């Protein structure tokens, strides 16, 4: 079981796997245990506002460090916008300066998507901070390979990690059911598909039942 204290990276096996809703659920769970939590969306691309979504669902203070208009990987989106790139050391310093007990740092896309100057990734940020990572994975076909590759990439840099299924279907099929047995890594639980559409008060009541974060706070 990873320790939820100080910075914690929330990354994914791919884009659209449910990182933001998972981040919000983790925040709710930790706050229910008495921890203070801040959510930091490292880089936002396209028209979504993941920090606002995390705040709406969880009530935790949430902010975004940089926004780019095109729905691309952050480095590509910054290039098209002729905007400055985030520096790894500055993001790490921002995370360490947060006064909250736990700082949830949500990435963009999958683990090895280039975020900022020099092509650094969320894996590089986790290694720089010496912090663990939560990997948000899909439920269906393909997730075993993608999750194993993501966990292996983190392990190569000495980053501890655990897995959350980001959108568990209401009517799981054969692949989803069997994947529960075979999904690699330590598992913290799963988030029901559509959880992000719940009213905040309903989300906060239910979120503590979806995850098992241990007694690390």
CB count in 10 Å sphere of residue 97? 8
Mind listing the pLDDT tens digit for each residue in 165-194? 999 999 999 999 999 999 999 999 999 999
Residue 1, domain member (yes or no): no
Residue 49, domain member (yes or no): yes
41 included as an active-site residue:
yes
Sheet strands side by side (includes 133-137): 62-64, 37-41, 102-106, 6-12, 133-137, 161-168, 187-192
Residue 217, domain member (yes or no): no
Q: Could you tell me which of 102, 130, 125, 100 has the C-alpha nearest to residue 112?
A: 125
Q: Which is more confident, 138 or 214?
A: 138
> Cα(160)–Cα(12) distance, rounded to whole angstroms?
14
Catalytic hit among 19, 33, 41, 87: 41
pLDDT at 198: 98
> Cα(210)–Cα(106) distance, rounded to whole angstroms?
19
Residue 18, domain member (yes or no): yes
CB count in 10 Å sphere of residue 6? 16
Residue 171, domain member (yes or no): yes
**By the 8 A CB rule, do 166 and 15 touch?**
no
pLDDT at 18 over 60: yes
pLDDT at 1: 84
Residue 216, domain member (yes or no): no
Mind listing the pLDDT tens digit for each residue in 140-174? 999 999 999 999 999 999 999 999 999 999 999 99
Share of the chain above pLDDT 70, in %: 99
Angle at the Cα of 89 (from 134 to 56), degrees rounded to 5? 45
Beta-bridge partners for 44 = 67
pLDDT at 215: 53
Look up the CATH number of the domain holding residue 106.
Answer: 3.40.50.300
Domain of 196 in residue numbering reads as: 6-210
pLDDT at 214: 74
**Which residues are within 8 A (CB) of 43 and not within 5 positions of it... i.e. 6 or more apart?**
64, 65, 66, 67, 68, 74, 86, 107, 108, 115, 116
pLDDT at 217: 47
Mind listing the pLDDT tens digit for each residue in 80-124? 999 999 999 999 999 999 999 999 999 999 999 999 999 999 999
Counted domains in the chain: 1
Residue 30, domain member (yes or no): yes
């Amino acid at each position: 079981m990873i320790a939820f204290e100080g910075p914690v990276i929330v990354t994914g096996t791919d884009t659209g796997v449910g990182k933001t809703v998972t981040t919000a659920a983790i925040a709710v769970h930790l706050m229910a245990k008495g921890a203070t939590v801040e959510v930091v969306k490292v880089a936002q691309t396209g028209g979504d506002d993941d920090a606002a979504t995390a705040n709406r669902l969880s009530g935790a203070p949430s902010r975004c460090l940089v926004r780019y208009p095109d729905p691309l990987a952050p480095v590509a989106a910054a290039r098209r916008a002729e905007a400055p790139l985030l520096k790894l050391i500055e993001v790490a310093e921002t995370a360490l300066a947060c006064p909250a007990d736990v700082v949830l740092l949500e990435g963009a896309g999958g683990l090895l998507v280039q975020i900022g100057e020099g092509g650094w990734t969320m894996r590089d940020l986790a290694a720089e901070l010496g912090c663990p990572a939560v990997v948000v994975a899909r439920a269906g076909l393909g997730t075993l390979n993608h999750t194993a590759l993501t966990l292996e990439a983190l392990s190569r840099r000495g980053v501890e990690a655990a897995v959350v299924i980001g959108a568990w279907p209401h009517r799981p099929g054969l692949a989803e059911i069997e994947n529960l047995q075979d999904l690699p890594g330590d598992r913290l639980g799963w988030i029901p598909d559509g959880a992000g559409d719940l009213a905040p008060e309903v989300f906060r009541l239910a979120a503590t039942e979806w995850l098992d974060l241990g007694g690390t706070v």
